[in-house]
């Protein structure tokens, strides 16, 4: 203790109790017996009584005599961990006498083993903070099973549906003149295509209005959806939307180093947006590369697009160490001949690359369904390497890739192309 008129004075207070307790002391200064200062009373400590939000995007993955539990943690900075209880019914979770503590300081994911196949188990996941405040809890249920994974329909959670979709200058249009009603219809229409077709990850192109897009993800798709938006591309940026309950974003990168550090990717040209995801069902990791190549059919544009395809082909070959899907608007067809340019096949480097395969051509896709409204063309593509191809599941009949038909140009002049992969 010190002041401007005297040296510091140190007092040792004896006789205190446990070292973990907090003590308040009253100190007052006095220059004469008659002139003591007003004692200082420290403010009352602020007690945190606010619990964190509930965990979200909870996923239960059935296994043989086990259930794998994964979730997204709440955003509060003082969140500490999650407590998980198991019971035979939802009501039994409310009583300590009828519930079992699976884990106290749980970290995503958790596998609950030694269960009985076919029996329904109920779980409550309770997030709590550093002070001990606890959320109300998220309640879910599932049954373990040793059944063969079917992955046979759009609603099957054992399948992951991945699509590419050019949204045609979402939402205000190329020159920003779309009416409010048309922009509203566009937001609703795109959301319906994503949700009604059970899509789980979508690579998007031509995001014009970034703030509208980021708000739309929550308002139209829901809280389980997250987004990743590129910084390059000016008024036609690329992006991803994905379901957090099914996949976790491991890493992301706008590709700007060699071979992409040249003028073919500068300015408003869109750099590839690479993202590595991990499937929460099985911990499988895979790489997506979202691309939107140079448009138009003049000789300069065709030459630029050809150089971009060359760069992509070289990059995929040199980094071919994990399951990879190259997808997006490549702005050219894959067919015998030169494509939409009159003199060159701009995608030839990718077409002839033995490390990858185009799914968006016959016989792996039904090209009669694929039209770039109102033109008959195939410019939105899905390209896989061998390790990714091994996970593919037929999307419709014998097709490994499929097309979502829509005839509404208020939504887009492109049809989404999609594929299914088994998560485990």
Give the domain-ending residue among 89, 115, 142. Answer: 142
Dist. CA 293–CA 305, nearest whole Å: 6
Residues 92-136: pLDDT tens digits? 999 999 999 999 999 999 999 999 999 999 999 999 999 999 999
Per residue in 289-322, pLDDT (tens digit) is 999 999 999 999 999 999 999 999 999 999 999 9
Per-residue model confidence (pLDDT) at position 36 = 61
pTM: 0.86
Assess whether 212 and 64 both reside in one domain.
no
Q: Is residue 267 part of a domain?
A: yes
Using alpha carbons, list the distances in angstroms from residue 209 to 233, 237, 252, 333.
12, 9, 21, 28
Summarised one tens digit per residue, pLDDT across range 74-98 is 999 999 999 999 999 999 999 999 9
CATH number for the domain spanning 284: value is 3.60.10.10
Is the confidence at residue 26, as pLDDT, over 70? no
User: Is residue 372 situated within a structural domain?
Assistant: yes
**pLDDT, tens digit, for every residue of 370-398?**
888 877 788 999 999 999 999 999 988 88
Is 82 part of any domain? yes
Find where tokens 């997808």 sit: 327
Domain boundary among 116, 142, 168: 142
Residues 207 and 355 in one domain: yes
Do 100 and 210 share a structural domain? Answer: no
Q: Which of 108, 142, 176 is the last residue of a domain?
A: 142
242: closest CA among 267, 217, 212?
Answer: 217
Say how many domains are in the chain.
Answer: 2
Answer yes or no: is pLDDT of 2 > 60: no
Q: Is residue 32 part of a domain?
A: no
Domain at 105, CATH number: 2.60.40.10
For residue 412, count other CB atoms closer than 10 A to its CB. 23
> Is the same domain home to 102 and 134?
yes
Question: Do 418 and 294 sit in the same domain of this protein?
Answer: yes
Q: Is residue 2 assigned to a domain?
A: no
In a domain, 17, yes or no: no
Closest CA to 93 of 123, 126, 127: 123
Residue owning tokens 């485990």: 424
Which residues, 6+ apart, have CB-to-CB distance to 388 below 8 Å?
286, 323, 324, 325, 421
Q: Give the end-to-end CA distance of the chain in Å, rounded to a whole number.
A: 66
CB contact set of 85 (below 8 Å; sequence gap of 6+): 93, 99, 100, 101, 102, 123, 124, 126
**pLDDT cut 90: percent of the chain above it:** 77
Tokens of 356: 């990858």
Name, in order, each residue with C-beta under 8 angstroms of 154's C-beta and a sequence gap of 6 or more. Answer: 161, 197, 198
Q: State both tokens at 157.
A: 């959670």
Cα separation, 54 vs 137, whole angstroms: 6
Q: Are 135 and 163 in a shared domain?
A: no
- The verdict on 138 and 181 lying in the same domain is no
Q: 137 and 163: one domain? A: no
If asked whether residues 412 and 315 sit together in one domain, one would say yes
Residues of the chain by 3-state class (helix, strand, coil), percent to 5: 15, 35, 50
CA distance 245 to 233: 29
Question: Is 10 a residue whose pLDDT tops 70?
Answer: no
Same-domain pairing of 199 and 112: no
pLDDT tens digit string along 195-238? 999 999 999 999 999 999 999 999 999 999 999 999 999 999 99
Q: What was the pLDDT predicted at 35?
A: 61
Do both 256 and 343 map to the same domain?
A: yes
Do 349 and 213 belong together in one domain?
Answer: yes
- The conformational region for residue 267 under phi > 0 = left, psi -120 to 50 = alpha, else beta, is left
Domain containing residue 275: 159-422
């Amino acid at each position: 203790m010190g002041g401007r008129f005297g040296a510091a004075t140190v007092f040792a207070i004896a006789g205190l109790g446990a070292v973990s307790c907090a003590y308040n002391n009253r100190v007052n200064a006095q220059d004469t017996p008659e002139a003591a200062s007003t004692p200082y009373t420290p403010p009352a400590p602020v007690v945190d009584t606010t619990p964190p939000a509930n965990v979200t995007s909870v996923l239960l993955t059935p296994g043989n005599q086990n259930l794998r539990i994964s979730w997204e943690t709440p955003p509060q900075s003082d969140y500490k961990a999650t407590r998980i209880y198991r019971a035979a019914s939802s009501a039994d979770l409310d009583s300590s006498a009828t519930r079992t503590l699976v884990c106290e300081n749980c970290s995503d994911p958790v596998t609950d083993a030694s269960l009985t196949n076919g029996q329904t188990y109920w779980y409550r996941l309770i997030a709590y903070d550093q002070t001990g405040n606890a959320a109300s809890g998220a309640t879910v249920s599932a049954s373990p099973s040793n059944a063969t994974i079917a992955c046979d329909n759009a609603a099957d959670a054992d399948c992951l549906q991945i699509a590419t979709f050019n949204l045609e200058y979402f939402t205000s249009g190329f020159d920003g003149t779309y009416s409010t009603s048309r922009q509203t219809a566009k937001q609703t229409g795109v959301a319906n295509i994503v949700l009604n077709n059970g899509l789980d990850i979508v690579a998007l192109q031509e995001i014009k209005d970034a703030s509208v897009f980021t708000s739309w993800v929550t308002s139209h798709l829901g809280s389980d959806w997250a987004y990743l938006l590129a910084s390059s591309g000016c008024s036609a940026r690329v992006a991803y939307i994905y379901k957090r309950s099914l996949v976790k974003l491991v890493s992301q990168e706008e590709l700007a180093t060699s071979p992409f550090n040249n003028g073919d990717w500068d300015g408003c040209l869109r750099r590839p947006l690479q993202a590595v995801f991990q499937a929460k069902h099985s911990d499988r990791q895979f790489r997506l590369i979202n691309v939107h190549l140079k448009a138009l059919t003049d000789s300069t544009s065709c030459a630029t697009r050809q150089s971009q395809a060359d760069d992509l082909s070289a990059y995929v070959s040199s980094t071919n160490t994990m399951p990879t899907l190259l997808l997006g608007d490549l702005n050219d067809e894959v067919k015998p001949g030169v494509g939409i340019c009159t003199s060159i096949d701009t995608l030839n480097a990718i077409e002839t690359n033995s490390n990858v395969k185009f799914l968006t051509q016959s016989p792996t896709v039904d090209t009669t369904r694929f039209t770039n409204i109102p033109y008959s063309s195939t410019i939105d593509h899905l390209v896989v390497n061998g390790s990714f191809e091994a996970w593919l599941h037929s999307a419709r009949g014998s097709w490994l890739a499929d097309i979502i038909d829509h005839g509404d140009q208020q939504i887009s002049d492109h049809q989404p192309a999609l594929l299914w992969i088994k998560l485990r």
